[in-house]
Amino acid sequence: MSLTNILLIYIYFIIFATGGLAIYGIISKNNLIKKIIALTIFGDVVNSLIIFIGYRLVPKPLPPILPSLNPDKALYKLYVMSSVDPLPQALVITAIVINVAVIAFLVFLVVRIYNSYGSIEYDELIRIDRGGST
Amino acid sequence: MNRNTLSGVIIFVSSLILFVILSYIAVTGGVGKHPSEEINSLGQFFVNNSYNVFNKTFWAGSPEAVTSILWDYRGFDTIFETTVLFISIGGALVLAYKKINWDKLITPLSDKGLTLIVKTSVKIISSIVVLLSLNLALRGYISPGGGFAGGSAYSIAPLLLISGLSIYYITRLGYKLHKMINIRTIGLLGLSIVSLIPLIWFGYILQNQSKPSTVFPGYPVYIGPLYLGGSLIYLNISEFLVVSTEFIIIFLAMFLLLKSTKGEAE
Amino acid sequence: MIEFPLLLIAYFSTLGLVFTYFALRDKDLIKAIIFSTIQSISYALIYGTLLAPDILLVYLAVGFGIYPILLLYAVSKTRRYEKK
């Protein structure tokens, strides 16, 4: 097994461990703001996995931007042979901006919940909802 | 208490199992392909054609493959993403709106706060941020950047000014809520006009350059010596207006709400 | 040198894992937000190493500017410490 393969497996392992930790945080943390923090981390993990699939394992990969406006044949051929995949990057840009909007909505929702119920702890909210005291 | 510990253990064990299975699937190639010497054939198509000056059949007129995918090849994705942004910002505003009266809140504050050095450096840094973000948005079809990067960078500048000076300062600069909503509408209008113009020549919605099956001549790539990159520059500027003003709307709502309830508590 | 970017990515993702753990463990929410910002920066560097300059630029603005300020706003409006 070559060094490249070992590194690939290690990166997958670490990134999925981060994702598992984030899912654990989303499900089991009691504080709603902690849940939102875990959600932002989970978004990062998914985005980095998507970009990682489009990476190119050549000695000198290039970003998907042609460096010249009047390329000659040789430059164009080099670019085509060694550019990374632009499609996952385009998908991830929109995903990041949507994520921001959704997180902003959730933050306003949490503040609203606190104004109405006086708590942002999940079990306390359930207790209040069932008619008990805080 | 005992039940809570038990459910915590169950959640931990099940997310551990999920993580082990997912890593196994990923390592054996289940989530798609691994990075290798070749990229996906679809991505290779975009790399080949986005600025193919030797065969202009499917080209987008921009050396920036990511921007040309965003606004040309997969423009519908981005349009619906803008819709999602629109709706969720609207939802956040609805949640904030019942709480406060917007017009009463814009009153001058007393002029205490941070020292002169901090205030001056905040002004300098935020003007640098504005220049950088305009550069990102306007040159997004040649260099990395574009409407999204420029818009989210631009919205940092009023945020710095709010936290360094005051909310009154930026309302005096002209960052008022209704004005922001109007500018956002101008941006959305720009997006729809640029995407619908090709229909006059029976082209596709969001068409950029001429395609073999249509008579639409395509947006101009060069006007004289000036390189414009087809429709991408107009769409980038419109998206810059939309994204930056929507984030600024969120921040204005946030800080006005913060001030109002502080006043109620005292 | 094919392995060098992969080594960098492995380093940054390990950093991200460590700070994710700190962010989820800490009872002080402001500290948790700071840890998650460091995690965001390390993921932004991953995007940069994977040759995605557009995403690097978007994510620097988002992860370093917008997320922490939104979350700090939520903390300042509610409670700073987690219960239990």
* C83, two tokens: 């219960």
Q: What is the pLDDT of residue B21?
A: 87
* Separation of alpha carbons B92 and B250, rounded Å: 8
User: pLDDT tens digits, residue range C52-74?
Assistant: 999 999 999 899 888 998 898 88
- Structural domain span for residue A65: 3-129
**Can you say whether residue A108 is alpha, beta or left, with left for phi > 0 and alpha for psi between -120 and 50 degrees?**
alpha
The structure's pTM equals 0.88
Residue ranges covered by each domain of chain C? 3-77
CA–CA min distance B257, chain C (Å) = 9
> What is the rounded average pLDDT of the residues B65-81?
89
Judged by CB atoms closer than 8 Å, whether chains meet at C55 and A96 is answered as: yes
Answer yes or no: is the ipTM higher than 0.90: yes
Q: Euclidean distance between the first and final Cα of chain C, in Å? A: 50
Judged by CB atoms closer than 8 Å, whether chains meet at B250 and A115 is answered as: no
Task: Tell me, yes or no, if B71 comes closer than 8 A to chain C by beta carbon.
Answer: no
Q: Which residue has the higher pLDDT, A90 or B116?
A: A90
Q: What is the pLDDT of residue A34?
A: 94
User: pLDDT tens digits, residue range B117-172?
Assistant: 888 888 899 999 999 999 989 988 888 888 889 999 999 898 888 877 777 778 78
CA–CA min distance C57, chain B (Å) = 6
Q: Count up the domains in chain A and report the number.
A: 1
Indicate whether A134 belongs to any domain.
no
Residue ranges covered by each domain of chain B? 65-265
Q: What is the pLDDT of residue B112?
A: 55
Judged by CB atoms closer than 8 Å, whether chains meet at B153 and C70 is answered as: no
Chains that touch B (3 or more CB pairs under 8 A): A, C
* Separation of alpha carbons B41 and B58, rounded Å: 15
Chains that touch A (3 or more CB pairs under 8 A): B, C
* A114, two tokens: 């606190």
